[in-house]
Structure 1
């Protein structure tokens, strides 16, 4: 292993990637996490909740007392593992497979959530995809549009469907990225969506402040999720995270507590903000 190697070289020839095919397996909850009932009785919808950061958030929310609705595309095996992990915490998880950028699908998820529990307290907009290209000219119009549909349109559609049912004290948490602040030479469309998410978060926070609904974001750095081996070649995966001050990738379990904080009353005076969980990089944003 070279000084720059952080992971075994690996690649998955499909998107979305599968957590079950990764080695080592990502850590979605740490042994020393101590729940305190911070989300007791809450109901959360989490997009991209089948694996990676989404799975970690789902399990942390369940540990804190929330029931969760897991929205994902088609990674059924991963989603079932997440559901089982939530159930093992004594909470309920419901799975919805579909296109989160679809207005009709999002409306269905929200309506059925309300029919089941009668309230909706937390929306976590986490679904994302990325497709590296060396040159702007190599990005097709279809790729550009698809990246925005998954990363940005889905956020708009689910939030729009959920808001009429959210009460004072509810919270919306969006997954941004360090790329919104530092950029990325080969992830032009992805980075652009993440910058849009930061602006959306700040603007919506101002819009919803009179309704006492808080809106914040988390901007992860390099985190070991299925997006990584399904996006990059094996050599790049092998050095993933080496450029951070901590010289390693983060685990989903190291990001999820930020979502707990932003979803619970501990952050009652926090809105329009972005928490940076990135291994020590200073991005001044």
Structure 2
């Protein structure tokens, strides 16, 4: 991947040990960025990602945190700042494996957990990083959302609905923080051959019928790869006149 023009400091990839987050973190490193990986529990995976980044001659740091814990997030961001001096881009790639259920069968505990991680977690990360981006003269937020935002996938509400709240949040950041040279954009993520897709396929939730029906909805009859999300995130992080926008990386899902 061709090197991009990044400021001094690092990209913070929240959820950098996840299936898609790993690819995003390594894509940024390949493009010339240092990377801070925030993860919750997958320490060994995070270590492997950091080793891959260092093999590309870029700096990598690891920071464990539960995004639903405001104090833990603030501590992790302080660690990132101490390690790198600046955060120029925040990529939100965190999230649980999304249980595939009709909304009418979604229990309250699962509903609240989805919002706690996706929405309240993103809020905590923004609250902890925004003062730094302001003080540094600007920066960028890149949110990994769902292609279901424009075409509803059956039983995927626990992904689409919380991420839709974050889509509104992204537009609010773009509107209110542009005066500080802070941009915010979102990638609408389709079926990516990593992370949740592989886990739910292993469980049998995504069976051959699901695969056949989903691929009928794709203009490109193949699944995406984490690198497709990574390249879109790099574009949004480096084009300094794009804000408040969504880019749909889904193989033409629902067109």
**What is the TM-score of this pair, normalised by structure 2?**
0.90
Distance 1:104 1:235, change over 3 A: closer
1:47 corresponding residue in structure 2: 14
User: 1:182 is paired with a residue of what secondary structure?
Assistant: coil
Contact residue 228 and residue 237 of structure 1 kept, 8 A = no
User: 2:187 is paired with a residue of what secondary structure?
Assistant: strand
Residue in structure 2 matching 1:216, options 172, 185, 189: 185
Structure 1 gap segments, 5+ residues each: 1-33
1:242 corresponding residue in structure 2: 215
1:4 corresponding residue in structure 2: none
Structure 2 gap segments, 5+ residues each: none
1:271 corresponding residue in structure 2: 243
User: 2:115 is paired with a residue of what secondary structure?
Assistant: helix
In structure 1, C-alpha distance between the alignment counterparts of 2:108 and 2:171, rounded to whole Å: 28
Residue in structure 1 matching 2:76, options 97, 109, 113: 109
Query: 1:183-232 CA distances to partner (integer Å, 9 max, x unpaired)?
Result: 22212222101211211111111011111100011111111112113235
**What is the TM-score of this pair, normalised by structure 1?**
0.81
Identify which of structures 1 and 2 has the higher relative contact order when contacts are C-alpha pairs closer than 8 Å and 6+ apart. Answer: 1
Contact residue 249 and residue 279 of structure 1 kept, 8 A = yes
- Normalized per residue, the structure richer in helix is 2
Q: How does 1:14-93 map to 2 (within 5 A)?
A: 34-39=1-6, 41-93=8-60
User: 2:80 is paired with a residue of what secondary structure?
Assistant: helix
2:123 corresponding residue in structure 1: 156
In structure 1, C-alpha distance between the alignment counterparts of 2:252 and 2:236, rounded to whole Å: 20
1:26 corresponding residue in structure 2: none
CA RMSD, 1 decimal: 1.8
Contact residue 178 and residue 278 of structure 1 kept, 8 A = yes
Structure 1: 4+ residue segments shifted above 3 A: none
1:194 corresponding residue in structure 2: 163
